Structures are given as structure tokens and as C-alpha cells.
């Protein structure tokens, strides 16, 4: 497998029965097994496709077993290789508010928070990982299936779409009711993808106002407090009640 000197790969630990954590230490994506069918939550960076390919081979599964891709939002570290699979017929679900961003080259530019802290070694590490894994050339999404807000998706596992707008206008969480699992994307993280540091519940947005809004948006997740927390950045917190604990302890990462 091609190596990225800036990345520590995650090879697909089964963090909950049938829920596999892939990507890298900084940027997560998940594969969910539902019988024979597979669903992806987020797609990391473009180069992270190799992590998925290695996992499929190890498990004796195929790319054609993937029935749907659910994107928690439209930022480049989540859209990753989604277009490559969409081009083969896999539907890519994304909130309509984030679609224009994910479909334009501007969507591949680093966020302000990263640009203003590039001098920090940890931030440079994320930038290096992103560049080596093709962030500036990853294929733009050409078509999406808009997510129905606040309802259940008719795909294996019947996930509920929970809008959590603030980190981006189209940020959502996905709740898989039979698993007690809440995939929160960047609406609620357990480690800062840019600055690293200790494991803790945190949020941030693209501006000071959106930082505060990100914290307030967590109220949309309170009905799912008993669930396991599966974020796009940081470790999966799988004890029951992790979501409630994270909402209570969440801080704004600045």
C-alpha cells in the first residue's frame, strides 16, 4: 500500500458490531455492515480509498457490495473518494445546503482555521497528510442525492437524518436506531483534527459566530444521549451514554 509519511492509518477496527473505523488517526470514515450490504459514512481524503480497498480485500468483500455513501457534510476531508464510487453507480447522499460547496473547486481549499495556524507542527501534519492524499486534485462530486432532513433514509439500517447545522450549513448526524450509534461528522468531535491534543468533546465552525452556533446546535443531538458517539475526528466513544456526556462536556476548539 502507498505510504503517506504524515498519516497513521486506521485499518478498520470493529468499534461496534458491524461498524468498522477506517481512515487515519486524524480523519475517520466508517464502513457499516448490514447483512451482505455495506454503507459508508464519509470518504476521508481521496487517497484514503486505498484503506477501503485493503479492508475489502481482507474481509473478502467487494466494492460492489457498497450500496450507499452518506456524507455528514461537504468539506474536503469527508468528500474524499466519494465521486469515484458515485461514478460506478453508488448513490452519494449529502444535505443540499453543502452540495454547491462540494461540487466546486473552492471546496478543496483548506478552511480558515487551518490556514491561520499552518505554522503549528500539528496543523502542518494535517496539511501534509491532506496534500499527500490528493486533497487538491480529488474529483469533485458531480451529482448527489439530497438528504431528507429529520426523516429516515430508505437504505440498509434505516438511518435517521438529524440536521446539526453550524460547522457547515448542511452538517447532519446519522443515527442507526438498532445499533444505538450516532455518526456525528464534525458536528461533535472527540479530538481536534488540526491541533491534536487530548481526547475531549469539541466543536468549531468557520467563524467566531459559527463556533458558538456549533455549540448551540448540539441540542439537536440531545434525544440521542444514550447512543455511542462515532465522530469524524477522534476516537469512537462506544459506551452507552457517550453522546450525552460529550454534549455536556463539549468545548469550542479555538
Residues at the site binding Zn ion, with contacts judged by CB under 5 A: 77, 186
Least spacing, CB of residue 158 vs Zn ion, in Å = 25
Residue number with CB closer to Zn ion (56 or 189):
189
Other Cβ atoms closer than 10 A to 51: 24
Contact yes or no for 143/92 (Cβ under 8 A):
yes
Minimum Å gap between C-beta 210 and Zn ion is: 14
Q: What are phi and psi of 175, to 5 degrees?
A: -110, 125
Picking from 45, 12, 40, the residue whose alpha carbon sits closest to that of residue 26 is: 45
Question: Please, are residues 179 and 41 in contact by the beta-carbon 8 Å criterion?
Answer: no
Least separation in angstroms between residue 201's CB and Zn ion is 15
DSSP 8-class letter at 171:
-
Min CB(92)–Zn ion separation in Å: 17
Which is nearer to Zn ion, 83 or 186 (by Cβ)? 186
For 101, counting Cβ atoms within 10 Å of its Cβ (0-12 exposed, 13-18 middle, 19+ buried), the class is buried
State the Cα–Cα distance between residues 242 and 29, nearest whole angstrom: 19
Q: Which residue has the cell 457517550?
A: 242
- CB-wise, 133 or 186, nearer to Zn ion? 186
Toward Zn ion, which CB reaches closer, 56 or 108? 108
Residue 117 in grid coordinates: 495556524
CB 231 → Zn ion: shortest distance, Å?
9
- Closer CB to Zn ion, residue 77 or residue 83? 77
Q: Whole-angstrom Cα distance, residue 172 to residue 72?
A: 5
Q: Residue 64 Cβ, how far from Zn ion at the closest point, in Å?
A: 28
Contact 202, 252 (CB under 8 A): yes
Q: Which of 106/154 has CB closer to Zn ion?
A: 106
Closest separation in Å from C-beta 72 to Zn ion: 8
The three state secondary structure string of 70-88 is ECCCCCHHHHCCHHHHHCC
CB-nearer residue toward Zn ion: 4 or 56:
4
Amino acid at each position: 500500500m502507498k505510504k503517506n509519511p504524515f498519516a497513521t492509518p486506521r485499518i478498520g477496527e470493529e468499534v461496534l458490531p458491524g461498524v468498522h473505523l477506517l481512515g487515519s488517526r486524524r480523519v475517520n470514515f466508517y464502513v457499516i455492515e448490514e447483512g451482505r450490504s455495506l454503507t459508508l459514512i464519509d470518504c476521508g481524503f481521496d487517497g484514503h480509498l486505498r484503506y477501503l480497498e485493503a479492508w475489502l480485500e481482507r474481509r473478502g468483500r467487494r466494492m460492489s457490495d457498497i450500496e450507499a455513501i452518506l456524507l455528514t457534510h461537504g468539506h474536503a476531508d469527508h468528500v474524499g473518494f466519494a465521486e469515484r464510487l458515485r461514478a460506478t453507480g453508488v448513490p452519494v447522499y449529502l444535505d443540499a445546503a453543502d452540495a454547491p460547496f462540494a461540487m466546486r473547486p473552492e471546496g478543496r481549499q483548506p478552511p480558515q482555521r487551518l490556514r491561520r495556524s499552518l505554522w503549528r507542527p500539528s496543523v502542518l501534519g494535517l496539511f501534509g497528510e491532506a496534500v499527500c492524499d490528493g486533497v487538491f486534485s480529488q474529483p469533485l462530486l458531480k451529482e448527489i442525492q439530497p438528504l431528507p432532513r429529520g426523516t429516515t433514509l430508505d437504505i440498509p439500517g434505516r438511518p435517521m437524518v438529524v440536521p446539526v447545522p453550524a460547522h457547515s450549513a448542511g452538517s447532519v448526524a446519522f443515527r442507526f436506531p438498532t445499533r444505538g450509534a450516532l455518526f456525528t461528522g464534525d458536528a461533535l468531535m472527540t479530538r481536534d483534527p488540526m491541533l491534536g491534543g487530548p481526547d475531549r468533546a469539541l466543536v468549531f465552525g468557520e467563524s467566531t459566530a459559527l463556533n458558538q452556533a456549533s455549540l448551540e446546535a448540539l441540542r439537536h443531538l440531545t434525544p440521542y444521549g444514550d447512543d455511542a458517539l462515532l465522530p469524524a475526528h477522534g476516537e469512537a466513544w462506544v459506551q452507552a451514554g457517550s453522546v450525552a456526556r460529550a454534549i455536556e462536556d463539549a468545548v469550542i476548539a479555538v
